[in-house]
Amino acid sequence: MNSISLAKYIDHTNLKPFATENDIVRLCEEAVHYGFAAVCVNPYWTATASNALRSSNVKVCSVVGFPLGATPTSIKVAEAESCLEDGADEIDMVINIGEAKSGNWDFVENEIRVLAELCKAYDSKLKVIFENCYLKKEEIILACRASVAAGADYVKTSTGFGSSGAVLEDVVLMVKEVAGKCKVKAAGGIRDKSTAVKMIEAGADRIGTSSGIQIVTPIVL
């Protein structure tokens, strides 16, 4: 896979708590230069990214309930609506992991549905982050089913802030379980071209990474 085609899969990410406005503007400039699919930023920087990318095809992705997922649904909705009003094309929302671990899948599905409907009202996409490092395989399957039933556009492996990130085995499982009814985003710990390509070959439609430039830039020896 060449660098140009690979770039189209990448969400160029800066979710660092110390990111400045200059950092976000540079992230956007890099995304345009390399042809990345989107930039992924914290909610506060959504408007900055949207303004910087106004004349480009690069999408603006904002995170919600990030990184723990343990905020009330009403707060996630308010956060998502703020991002959408500021120009977000995509929302990456973390599920309530505690409710998932408790087996309260009705809650998980209903929360996803509320966010999915909000995103659709803005003609935007919802990606649902599971944080797989905290879930058993059967819980990943149930999270996929809840996301599909609720109308999510993507399921996503990880925040990048958990104890581990994307695992190829999990991507294969998620792709199989959603069965084309939504897409899959692999994120967390993807820092080189080989790993990114393996995730894509396994069926991932997006790659979330802060190492996008490193991934698409040929190594010169």
Q: What is the pLDDT of residues 163-210, one digit of tens each?
A: 999 999 999 999 999 999 999 999 999 999 999 999 999 999 999 999
Domain-embedded: residue 10: yes
**Choice among 76, 125, 156, 193 that is catalytic:** 156
Domain-embedded: residue 221: no
* Res 32 pLDDT > 90: yes
* Res 220 pLDDT > 90: no
Mean pLDDT of the chain: 97
* Res 131 pLDDT > 90: yes
CA dist 42 and 67 (Å) reads 10
Q: How would you classify residue 120: left for phi > 0, otherwise alpha for psi between -120 and 50, otherwise beta?
A: alpha
Using N-to-C axis directions, what is the helix angle for 168-178 and 137-150, rounded to 10°? 40
Contact call for residues 17 and 41 (beta carbons, < 8 A): no
- At position 189, the amino acid (one-letter code) is G
> Is 92 marked active-site?
yes
- As a dihedral over the C-alpha atoms of residue 197, residue 203, residue 209, residue 213, rounded to 10 degrees, the angle is 40
Instruction: Give the domain extent around 182.
Output: 3-216
The position carrying tokens 């990345």 is 36
pLDDT of residue 57: 97
Contact call for residues 160 and 130 (beta carbons, < 8 A): no
State the total domains in the chain: 1
pLDDT of residue 218: 72
Nearest one of 125, 116, 58 to 89, comparing CA atoms: 125
User: Can you tell me the mean pLDDT for 22-28?
Assistant: 98
187 three-class SS: strand
Domain-embedded: residue 85: yes
Report residue 152's pLDDT band, with 50, 70 and 90 as the boundaries. very high
Report residue 221's pLDDT band, with 50, 70 and 90 as the boundaries. very low
Work out the burial of residue 32: count CB atoms within 10 Å of its CB; fewer than 13 is exposed, 13-18 middle, 19 or more buried.
middle
Model confidence pLDDT, tens digit, residues 103-127: 999 999 999 999 999 999 999 999 9
> Is 8 marked active-site?
no
CATH number, residue 184: 3.20.20.70
**Choice among 11, 92, 153, 170 that is catalytic:** 92
Using N-to-C axis directions, what is the helix angle for 73-85 and 105-121, rounded to 10°? 20
- Tallying the residues shown for the chain, one arrives at 221
pTM of the model: 0.96
